[in-house]
Structure 1
Amino acid sequence: MLPLSEGQNGPLSPKLLLPPNNLGLYRLKNFVGRTDELERLRRWLADRPVIAITGPSGAGKSTLATALAVEQATRFEEGILWISATGDTAFNFYDVVRVVEDVLATGITNQPVSTWPLLVLQQLYGFNRLVVLDELTDADPDTVDKIQAMIRMIGPGGQGRFVLIGRSIPQPLLRAVGDARLHLGGLTLTDVQAWIEQNRADYPLGPEDAPLLHQLTGGHPLVLRMVASLWHSPDWGQLIDLISVQHPDDWDARMKAIVSATLAFMQKMHPHANRLLTRCCQASGGFSVDAAAHLFWENRHPDTTLPDITRQLTRLGVLMHNPQQNRFYIHPLLQRYLSIASYPGFPPHLQRHYTLEHARYYLSVAQQYSRTPPHRWPAIDGDWGNIRKAFNFLQESLEERLERTAEEALLHFDSGDIPLLPASMDDILILLRNYALALRGYLIWRHPPEGRRWAAAGIIAARLLTDRRAEALTGLTLASLAYFHHEYATARLWFRRSLPFFRQAGDFFPVVQILKNLGMVERAMDNLEGAFQHYAEALALATQHHFVLEQSILQSLIGSLHYAQKHYEQAIEWHRKALHSLKTADHSRQSLAWQAVHYNNLGLALEAGGHYQEAIEAYNNAIPLHRQVNNKRGLSTTYGNLGAAHYQHGQLQKALKWYRRDMAIRDSLGNRLDQAAILHNMGHIALELDNLPAAADYFTRSRDLYRQFGQNDLAEEEQILLDAIRDRRVVVG
C-alpha cells in the first residue's frame, strides 16, 4: 500500500494508504461535497460489477470517480487502474492493456494479442481491483464489445469492479450498467459555500457571494473556478451578459459561454499566456514542466515568467497541476474548445512547424525507452500519448507523399517503386528513422496496435536516407513483430533481409541472434531440419566468439528440437551441455534465470525418458534459481512439473503437495485457467486415491472456472467426469 502524499490529501483521509494505482490525485485539491453522490456510488459498487457516471464536461465526473476510488482503497487493496485514451485516437482496448501492464506488471503484452481480453479478465475476476474507464464517449465499437464481454463474464460474483465515465456511455455498456448510473449535475448551494471557504486564499469571494456564484455556474466545478477568477473583473458585466442569454438548464451552452469569456479575458490581459495554452492543447495526456519550458513557451515578455503564467492558468481553472509528477493537464472541455476555436487560427505552415517541433521534442523522451529497463517504463509512459501522436504524424506525412500505406509500400520494396522524395521531407524521414530505432524495444515487448506500420515507415525512411544499419535494425523489429503475430513467412523474410548487413559489418552478436530467431521461425513452421541448420550455425559462431549465454541458449534450443522428435537421450545431452556452458558465465540475473530454464527443460527430457528421480532432482535445482531472480511464473511452472513427475513416479501425495504450491502462485498471478488445469490434475489424483468427494470438489471447481471464462468445451469434459463420479457413488451405495 502506498501513502497518500502530503499536498494531495484533499478532504478525504490524510493518512490513507493506497494500493498499486495510477490515480490522478491532483484532481482532489479543490474537492468538496458530493456526499449523497458518493453514498449512492458506494452502495452500487457493493454488489454491481459496473457503475457509470455521466454528465456534461466540467461537472466533475473524473474528480468524483477519483474521490470514490480513494475512499474505497482499502476494499480494492490489490490495485486501482485509471484508463483513458492516449494520442489522437478514441478510447481503444490497447489503452486497457497498457495500463494493466504498467500498474500490475502482468506480462500480458508478451502473450498473443488474441488472448489479451481473456488475460485482462483474469486479472480482474479473482482480485479486489477497481478499473475506472474515463472518456468512453467515443470508444470504438470493438473496444465496447470487449469491455461488455468482460463485465458480463465477471458478473456480480467476481471481485473486480468497473466505473465507466463519459459525457455519454455507448448503449451496449449502458445496458450492462442498468440503473446504476449517476448523471452528475452541479454542487449544491451548501457545497458552493464550502468551496468558497476552502478557496478563500485564491479568489476574492465571501459567503455572501455563494448564491450568485451558484446561480451563474450551476455549481459545476470547472466553471466555478473560472467565474470566481473573473469575479468583479473589468469583464464581469460581459460575463453576466453572456451567461444570461443562455437557456437556464442548458449547462453545456452555459459552460461553453463561460469558457469563451475566460479565454477572451486571458487573451486581452495575458496574450502570451493564451498563445502558450493554444499550443499546449496539442499535448496528449498532459505535459511536463520541461515540455512547457522548451516546447510550448515562447518567452517574448521578459517581465513574465513561465511559473507566473502557469500559476495564473491554474487559478483560472484552465490548467491542472500534478505536483507529484510535476505535470500539467488541460481539462478535456477546454482542450476540445481550443483545438476547434483557437489552434486553427495559426497559419497551416505554422501548425506544421509546431507539430514538427512536438515530434523533435518527444523523440528525446521516446529514446528513454531504449536506455531504460522495461520494469521502469511506467515512469516514461505518462508521455506515451505525445510520443504516439508524434510517430503517427510522421508516418502519415510519409504515407501522404507515397500515396499508399507504409506496409503497402514495403510490398514494392525491392522493385524500385518507392519514389525519391523532395529535400523538404528530410526532417520527416530523419525523425521517422530515429523514432523507429528509439522504440524498437517498446514495439517488440509492448506491441502497440500501430507497431507494424511504424516499423514499416521506419524501414522506408532508413532506405531513403541510405542508412543501411537503421534499415537492418528496423527490419529486425518488423520481423519480431511478425513472429509475435504468427506471420512466420513475413518474419523469415525480414530476418533474412537484415542478416547480410551484420555479416558484412563483422558484427557477429546480432548475426548469432538473427540465426537463432530464424531457427525459431523454422520450428514454428514445422521445418525442424531448417531449425537445426540455423541453430547449428549460430552455435558455431557463439562458441567461436565466446558469447557464452547465447551458446547455452542455443544448446538448449537444440535439445528442445530433439525433445520434439522424441529423441530424449539426445535432448538430455544437449540440455546438460547448456548447463555446463553457463558454469563459466557470470552470476548475473540473466544467467541465473537461464540456468533455471535449462534445469526445467532437462527435467522435462529426463521425465519423458523415464528417468523420474533424476527429473525431480533437475526440477528441484531450478527452484532456488527461480527464487533468486523472483521469477514467480517460472517457479510455478517448475512446481507443476514436479507434481507431474511425482504423479508419473506413483508418488501421489507428493504430487498433490506440488500442485497445491503451484495453485497458490497461479492464484497470486491471476492465472485462473491454469488453476483450472491444475484442479483437473488434482481431481485425477484424488480418483486414484479413491477419494471421490475430493475428486468431485476438484472437478467442480475446475468446471466452474472454465465456464466463467467461456471455455465451454473444457467445462463439459469436467462435467462428464463429475457425472461418472456420481454414477460410481450410486453403484457403490
Structure 2
Amino acid sequence: MTKESRLEALHRALLAEAGQPVLFGDLVRAVWGDEPPAGPLPALRSLVRRLRQSVEDEIVTDASGYRLVVRRPGPAQLPADLPDFVGREDELAALSSSDAPVLAITGPPGVGKTALAVRLAHRVRDRFPDGQLHVDLRGFATGPAVTVEQALGRFLRALGVPPANVPLDRDEQIELYRAKLRGRRVLVLLDNATGLSPLVPDVEGCKAIVTSRNELPEQTRLDVLADDEAGALLDRLKIDGTADDRAELIRLCANLPLALRIAGAHLADRHLPDYLAELRGDGRLDALEIEGDAAVRAAFALSCGALPADARRLFGLLSVHPGTDFGVRSAAVIGDLSTEDSTRLLDVLVRSGLVEQTGERFGMHDLVRLFASEQAGSGGPPALRRLLSFYLATARHAAELVSPAVRRLDPLPLDLEGREFATAAQAQAWLDSKRVVLVAAVQVAPHPFASHLADSLRGYLNYSAYRSDLGTVMAAGLASARESGDTAGETAMLNGLGHLHWMRGAFAEALESYGAALELSPSDLMRSALLNNMGLVKRETGDLSGALEDMEQARQVQHGDTTLYGTVLSNLGTVCGARGELRKAVAHFEEALRIWEVNGFQVKIAVTHEELGVAHIELGDFDGARRHLDAAWAGYQEAGMGESRPNVLANLADLARKTGDPQQERAWASRGLEQARKIGDVRAEVEVLIRLDELEAAVELADRINYPVGRRKAQLKLARHDPALAAELLRDVRDNGDLLLESKAVLALAEATGDAAVAQEALELAKAREQGAVVARAEAFLAAQPPANGGSTSS
C-alpha cells in the first residue's frame, strides 16, 4: 500500500467503529494486512499522528487501542427567517451570486437591513456545511455594544473551543478564530456593526455578511421599499383597503418596512381610513434627526397610544433592560407585575408589533427601544433598580452554590429577593443562560450595583473561564467603585483583576493589582485572602521564598474564617512540596483535611486527599498514596465531579507506573486524556500526555499555555537519553528554584551520561528531601553500575 492508502485504511477502520476503541492489533492488520512492519506499534503511532493532522475527527488513545470521535456538526446560529419578507429580489440575486468574501448591507434604521441579511444567509447556508455564526453587535443600541473580544469568545466556544482554551489576548483570539475556520466553509453574520472588524473571517472558503448604518467598502446600500414591494408587504400583513388608501399608508410610513409592520399590527382590527386620519396628524411631524424616524415615530405613536394603559406603561419600562432580549420573569420584575400579568401584557405588545417574540424570548428593534425609553419617564430608574436588585440577589445566591469558597463583598440591602436554586447545577445553568445579560447589566448599573454584581459574578466567570467577560465586569465595577469612593468595592475589583492577570500569565500585573488591593484592604480577612493570592502568583514564578512568606503572613492575619484558613494551609502545603519539604507539606494538608471534614466540605476533602496522594508518591509511600488517591477519586465521583477532575487520573497513572503496572497506567492516563480534552483542562492534558509518553506533544502544549512545570516534567523523561537536554534542564530547574525536580533532573543527567558520581549527588539530594521514589531509582542506577576499575582481575 502507498502511504496515502494506509492513512485511508486507518481512517476507514476507525470510522467503521466510530465511538468505540479499536484494538492496536486490529488496526495494524487493517493497515498492513499480513505484512506488518518490524515495529508495528511505533509505526501505527506515527500513522495515527499523521491522521490526526489530516482529519477534523478526534482520535482518542485508549488503553488497548484508538477510538475515533466523529466531528460534531458545526454551529447553526442563524436567526429565524421572517415569514413576511418581501421584495429586495435584485439585491438578493446580486448578493447571493457574489464571490466577495464580505457582503456589506448598509442603510438607515428601519430600512430592513437585518431582514435582508437573514434572508440572504438562509438562501446561501447550504454552501457553508461547516456551520453559521451570528452575533448582534449592538453597535447602534442604547445599551452597551458587544466588544470584538466578547464576540470572538462566543464564536470560539461555538466552534468547539472550551472556555478555558479561549485566549485572553485579542491577537491570539483572532489567530485561533481563523485557525479554527481554516479548511472549513463557515458563514458569519455580523449584525449592527459600526464597521468591518477582525470578526470578518478573512479565511478562504468562509464568508461574512455585515449590516451597518455606516458606510462600508463594496456595500449594498438599501433604500426604502419600492411602492410595489411595500404593497406586497401590506398583502402579507393582510391589510385591505382601496388602492388610494394603501398608497397613502405607504407614503405616510415613508416606505419603511419597520413602520409598515408596526402599522400593520395596529391595523389588525381597525378601519384603514380612520388610521390614516390619525397618521396624518401633527404627531407625525415630531421627528428625530435620524433619517426615516418620522415615519417610524408616527406608526409607533399611534400603536403605543392605542395600547391599554398597563401595556403602555410596561412598554416604556422595558427599555431599561440591558440585554438584547428578555423573558417573562424579567419583564414582570421591571413592571412590578405578577408573572400572569407580565405574560398577558407581553402578548398585547407582540400583537401591536412593538415587541418581537422568538420562542420564549422577547426583544425590541433598536429604534423602538429608543422610542420606548422616551415613554419610561420617572418610572425608568425605579424599574432598573428593581431589575438590578433581582439580578444581584439571584446571581449572589447562584454564585454561593457554584463557587462557595470565593470571598465576596458584604451583601447590599435590596428591594427584591431573587430566585433560589436547590443545587449547584441549577445555579450554574441560570448563570450560563443569563451570562450575556448580566455582563451588560454590570456595564449600565449605577453604583453600588455595578461593583457588587461584578463581585458576585467574579468566581463564576473565573472558574468557567469566561475571561473576556471577567475583564469587562471587573473594569466596569472598578470604575464605578472608584468614582464613588467605595474602598471595599475597589479592593474587590482589584482582587478580581489580579485573578484575571494571573490566568493570563501576566504575573507582574497580577502582583501589582493584588498589591494595590492590599494597600486599600479594609479588613484582616481580605488582607489574608490577598496575601494568599500573592503567594500563589509567586509560587507560579518560582519565587518560593516569597510565596512562603506571603502565605505564612496570610495564616497569621486571618481570624476565625475556617474556609480561608484551610485554603491557606492547603496552598502552604503546595509551596512546601515545591521546596522539597515534603513532611511539612503533608502536615499542612492533614490539618486542612481535618478542617474540611469537620465542616463537611466534600469537594475540598477530595482535593486535599489528592494533594496528600501526590506528596506520598514523592515520599515513596505508595500504599499511603493509593489510599489518598482512591479517596480523592471516590470523593469527586460522589460530588458529581468525576468527569471534571482529569488531573487525579494523571496522578493515579503516575502511581501505577511507580508500582509496576504499565497496563493500568495507560488505562488511567487514556481516560484522563479524554476527560481533559472534553472539558478543556489543558494543564491536565499536558500531565496525561506525559504519562502516555507523548512527550514532544506535551512540551509543545506546555509552552503554548505558559506551563513551565509541565514542560520540565516532560523534558525530564526525554533528558534521560539526551545529555545536552539533561544539562540544560538541570540549569533551568536550578535557575527557577524548582527544588522538588532538582534531584530528578540530576538523576536524569546521570542516566543520560552514565555518570555514577552525578547519580550519587542525586541520591544525596533525594535523601535530604525524603523523596523516597527518587532514592529508590538512584540506588537502582548505582547498583547496576560496574565497579570503578571496570570489574577486571589480575591473573
TM-score (norm 1): 0.60
Letter in 2 for 1:160: C
CA displacement at 1:222 relative to structure 2:
0.5
Aligned 1:258-407 pairs, distance under 5 A: 258-260=296-298, 262-263=300-301, 266-267=304-305, 270-284=308-322, 285-296=324-335, 309-322=345-358, 324=359, 326-339=360-373, 341-343=374-376, 346-347=377-378, 350-367=379-396, 370=399, 383-384=434-435, 386-394=437-445, 396-398=446-448
Q: Write the deviation string for residues 412-441 of structure 1: whole angstroms up to 9, x where unpaired.
A: xxxxxxxxxxxxxxxx6xx85466235531
Cα contact 2:225–2:256 (8 A) shared by 1: yes
**What's the CA shift for 1:283?**
1.5
SS of equivalent residue, structure 1 residue 314:
helix
Summarize the Cα distance change of 1:207–1:321 in structure 2 as closer, same or farther, 3 Å threshold.
farther
Q: Are 1:446 and 2:466 an aligned pair?
A: yes
Contact residue 570 and residue 588 of structure 2 kept, 8 A: yes
Higher mean C-alpha displacement, 288-297 vs 473-482: 473-482
Equivalent residue pairs, number: 554
Give SS of 1:397's match: coil
The 1:244/1:281 distance shift into structure 2, 3 A limit, reads closer
The answer to whether 1:185 aligns with 2:233 is no
TM-fit CA distance, 1:96? 0.4
Shift of 1:136: 1.4
1:446 maps to amino acid: Y
Residue in structure 2 matching 1:236, options 265, 276, 282: 276
- State the match for 2:693 in structure 1: 645
In structure 2, the CA distance between the partners of 1:329 and 1:122, relative to structure 1 (3 Å rule), is: same
SS across alignment from 2:693: helix
Match of 1:113 in 2: 168
Q: Does 1:39 align with 2:86?
A: no
Q: Could you list the runs of 5+ residues in structure 2 that have no partner in the other structure?
A: 1-72, 403-423, 519-526, 533-553, 598-603, 706-795
Q: Which has the larger radius of gyration?
A: 2
The CA distance in 2 between the partners of 1:535 and 1:433, in whole Å, is 36
Q: 1:571: Cα distance to partner?
A: 12
Task: Determine the structure 1 residue equivalent to 2:668.
Answer: 621
SS at match of 1:32: coil
Q: 1:278·1:338 contact (CA, 8 Å) conserved in 2? A: yes
Residue identity opposite 1:451 in structure 2: V
Q: How does 1:456-605 map to 2 (within 5 A)?
A: 477=496, 480-485=499-504, 486=506, 487-489=509-511, 490-491=513-514, 495-496=529-530, 504-505=559-560, 507-508=562-563, 510-516=564-570, 528-529=578-579, 538-544=588-594, 545=596, 547-555=604-612, 579-582=629-632, 585=635, 587-588=637-638, 592-593=642-643, 596-600=646-650
Is the Cα contact below 8 Å between 2:439 and 2:473 reproduced in 1?
A: no
Contact 2:188 2:208 in 1 (8 A): yes
Q: Give SS of 1:645's match.
A: coil
Q: 1:112 to 1:354 in 2, by over 3 A?
A: same
Q: Is residue 54 of structure 1 aligned with residue 74 of structure 2?
A: no
Distance 1:501 1:437 in 2: 27
Matched residues in 2 for 1:558 and 1:455: separation? 40
Q: Corresponding residue for 1:706?
A: none
Secondary structure of residue in 2 paired with 1:355: helix
Aligned to 2:150: 95
1:199-221, CA deviations, whole angstroms, 9 ceiling, x for partnerless residues? 22xx4557786544444445432
1:30 aligns with 2:76: no
Please say which of residues 633-642 and 580-589 is displaced more in the overlay.
633-642
Partner residue in 1 for 2:233: 195
Show the counterpart of 1:163.
Answer: 209
Structure-1 separation of matches of 2:328 and 2:669: 47
Q: What is the letter of the counterpart of residue 289 of structure 1?
A: V
Aligned to 1:82, the other structure's residue is in SS state strand
Q: Which amino acid counterpart does residue 388 of structure 1 have in structure 2? A: V
CA shift, 1:166, in A, is 1.2
Cα distance, 1:57 vs. partner?
Answer: 0.9
| One-letter amino acid matched to 1:128 | R
By how many angstroms is 1:317 displaced? 2.6
* Structure 1 residue corresponding to 2:678, chosen from 627, 631, 634: 631
> Is the 2:113–2:211 contact (alpha carbons within 8 Å) kept by the matching residues of 1?
yes
- Equivalent residues of 1:593, 1:626 under 8 A apart: no
Q: Return the offset for 1:167.
A: 0.8
Distance 1:504 1:578 in 2: 30
In the alignment, what sits opposite 2:75? 20
Q: 1:265/1:39 Cα in 2 relative to 1: closer, same or farther (>3 Å)?
A: closer
d(CA) in 2 for partners of 1:515 and 1:455?
31
> Whole-Å Cα distance in 1 between the matches of residues 428 and 212 of structure 2?
28
Which sits farther off after the overlay, 472-481 or 282-291? 472-481
- Kindly indicate whether the alpha-carbon contact (under 8 Å) linking 1:136 and 1:165 is maintained by their aligned counterparts in 2: yes
User: What stretches of structure 1 of length at least 5 have no aligned partner?
Assistant: 1-17, 399-427, 563-568, 649-657, 673-733
Q: CA RMSD in A?
A: 5.4
Q: 1:364 to 1:79 in 2, by over 3 A?
A: farther
Contact 1:455 1:475 in 2 (8 A): no
* Distance in 1 separating the partners of 2:571 and 2:209: 43
What amino acid does structure 1 have at the position aligned with 2:670? I
The question of 1:134 aligning with 2:191 is answered: yes
CA contact (8 A) 2:259 2:296 kept: yes
Maintained 8 Å contact 2:136/2:192 = yes
Q: What secondary structure sits across from 1:631 in the alignment?
A: helix
SS in 1 for 2:146: coil
Aligned to 2:133, the other structure's residue is in SS state strand
Distance across 1 between alignment mates of 2:636 and 2:306: 66
- Label 1:474 to 1:516 Cα distance change in 2 as closer, same or farther (>3 A): farther
Distance 2:434 2:589 in 1: 41
The residue type paired with residue 436 of structure 1 is D
Distance 2:282 2:298 in 1: 9
**Aligned CA distance change for structure 1 residues 530 and 392 (closer, same or farther; 3 Å):** farther
Partner letter of residue 320 of structure 2? Answer: Q
Structure 1 residues 133 and 379: CA distance shift in structure 2, 3 A: farther
Deviations 1:317-376 (A, max 9, x none): 321112x2x22211101223444x444xx34xx543333222113225535753576899
Distance 1:95 1:134, change over 3 A: farther
SS of corresponding position for 1:91: coil
Deviation at 1:68, TM superposition (A): 2.9
Matched residue, 1:64: 116
Whole-angstrom distance in 2 between the partners of 1:77 and 1:101: 17
Contact preservation (8 Å) 1:196, 1:206? no
Residues in 2 aligned to 1:496 and 1:531: alpha-carbon distance in whole angstroms: 24
2:256 corresponding residue in structure 1? 220
Q: Aligned pair in 2 of structure 1 residues 578, 275: CA closer, same or farther (>3 Å)?
A: same
Partner SS, residue 321 of structure 1 = strand
Q: How many Å apart are 1:488 and its aligned residue?
A: 3.8
| Superposed displacement of residue 629, structure 1 | 8.2
* AA aligned opposite 1:641: L
Counterpart CA distance in 2 for 1:306 and 1:591 is 39
Determine helix, strand or coil for the equivalent of 1:287. Answer: coil
- The one-letter amino acid paired with 1:106 is V
Report if aligned partners of 1:603, 1:616 keep a CA contact under 8 Å in 2: no
Are the structure 2 counterparts of residues 131 and 72 from structure 1 closer, same or farther at C-alpha, using a change threshold of 3 Å? same
Please tell me whether the aligned partners of residues 130 and 185 of structure 2 are also in contact (alpha carbons under 8 angstroms): yes
The sequence identity of aligned pairs, in percent, is 17
- Residues 539, 555 of structure 1: 8 Å contact kept: yes
